[in-house]
Every structure is written in structure tokens, then in C-alpha cells.
Chains A and B, each alone.
Chain A
């Protein structure tokens, strides 16, 4: 269960603040992701990184800046937080097989509440 870990689990903050979420995987995967799950449970891809390189940036505001210091870590920094950023953010990782993602393993999620 600690294969993909995220910190913190809960984050409550005021509008306008800057916050970071950290993610680590110990599965040896080469690809990591950030997904956003909104209040209606819709899961949407935000970013995808392969071997520390940004592959997917799915029309996310530039207030969101992911950083991958190495293959095992993908952090998410959010500037100038807005009410609409309130959601659960999931990190995930996978290995690429035959040019496509294999099973994606999700972290426990970070519930962000912006007041």
C-alpha cells in the first residue's frame, strides 16, 4: 500500500496562498501522473511525466507547476490558490509497455480545500 505515497493527505488553506503536494513511488516505474478528482468524482489527467520529462500538460492553468527531480518523485506546486482548485489530487505511476501505459497505481490522494 505504500507503493505510491503522497503528502499531505489533507490540505486546508486560504485563497491566494501557495502550496505544494509531494508524491513518491517505489515501484521503479518510469512514468508518473497527476490527476484531479472534482466534487462530482470526475477524474481528469493534469500532467504526465516520463523519465523526468513533461509529456502531457492537459490545459492546466500555469498556476500549477509540476516538478520531477527524479523518476521516483513528482511534486505539484500550486500558486495563488482559487476556490475552484478545491478537489482531491491523485498521483499515479506506471510502466510504459509497447508504447502505452500499463497498470496505473494511484496514491492515496490529497484533499485540498481552499477557503
Chain B
């Protein structure tokens, strides 16, 4: 299937700092881009998503930006807190729309 590249694989920030995770995708038919947070031993949970007709979306401390031309999208977390520590996955819908291709995940550590 088409690839979703995610960087960095690990990210360590101090509490209160911002964290940025970047993804690129290759399938030009992708039109839905969710971000999931997965805590240790738990299921992935959606934190924010964006569709291809929107360039930016914000929900409190979390924002996502999408550049369809460059096939880039990014997650921004401001004022990070220790409870933000988890693995974050980006994903892009595949051409048929019936599944998601996931990035390999970013392990975010927020230190007090």
C-alpha cells in the first residue's frame, strides 16, 4: 500500500514546551488525516483529524495543519503536560477510503 512517513520517532520535551510531529503521505487520493494517541497497553484513541478541504484545525492545545500540495501534515501540541506522554500516530485514508495507512508512531515524553 501507499506509505505514510512520520518523524521524529522519539521526542522528549519539558513540561510547558511545544511538541511538533510531522508526517508525509504518498497517496494523492488520501482525503482524511487523523491523529491517534496510544498510551501503554491501551487502544489508539483519536485526538484530532482533518479533511483535505481544510488547511488547519485546532482543539484547545492541539492543532493539525495540512499542506495537500506538498503532501505534508503536522500535529502541534502546545503547553505540554506529563499526561501527554504517549505514542502518537498519524494516518492517511487510502484511495478507496476504506482503511487508514498509519505512520510508524512518535513516542513523546514530557518531563516535569
Within 8 A of B (CB), among A10-57: 31, 33, 40-45, 48, 50, 55-56
Task: Report the minimal beta-carbon distance from B94 to chain A, rounded to whole angstroms.
Answer: 8
The A interface, classified by DSSP as helix, strand, loop or mixed, is strand
On chain B, the residues within 8 Å of A104 by CB distance are 34, 46, 100
In angstroms, how far is the closest chain A Cβ from the Cβ of B44?
Answer: 5
Q: Are A101 and B98 in contact (CB under 8 A)?
A: yes
Say if the beta carbon of B26 comes within 8 Å of chain A: no
Q: With a CB–CB cut-off of 8 A, which chain B residues contact A108?
A: 42-43
B104 touches A101 (CB 8 A): no
Task: Check A100 against B45 for contact (C-beta < 8 Å).
Answer: no
Question: A43 near B46 (CB under 8 angstroms)?
Answer: no
Min distance, Cβ B71 to any Cβ of chain A, angstroms = 16
Is A66 located at the chain interface by the 8 A CB criterion?
no
With most chain A CB atoms within 10 A of its CB, the pick from B44, B45, B98, B102 is B98
List the B side residues contacting A48 at CB < 8 Å: 98-99
Shortest B76–chain A CB gap in Å is 20
Q: Are B44 and A107 touching (Cβ within 8 A)? A: no
User: A107 to chain B: which residues have CB within 8 Å?
Assistant: 43
Are A90 and B1 in contact (CB-based, < 8 A)? no
Complex contacts, A102 vs chain B, CB 8 Å: 32
Given that A58-B1, A90-B43 are known contacts, is A41 also in contact with B105, CB under 8 Å in the complex? yes
Bound complex: CA A13 to CA B98 (Å): 31
Q: Is the CB of A43 within 8 A of B44?
A: yes
Contacts of A99 in B (CB 8 A): 97
A56 touches B43 (CB 8 A): no
Is B101 in the interface zone, CB < 8 Å from A?
Answer: yes
Say yes or no for A115: interface residue by CB 8 A criterion: no
A83 contacts chain B at the CB level, 8 A cutoff = no
Instruction: Give the distance in Å from the alpha carbon of A55 to the alpha carbon of B42 in the complex.
Output: 27
Binding site for A on B (CB under 8 A): 1, 31-32, 34, 38, 42-46, 49, 51, 87, 89, 93-94, 96-102, 104-105
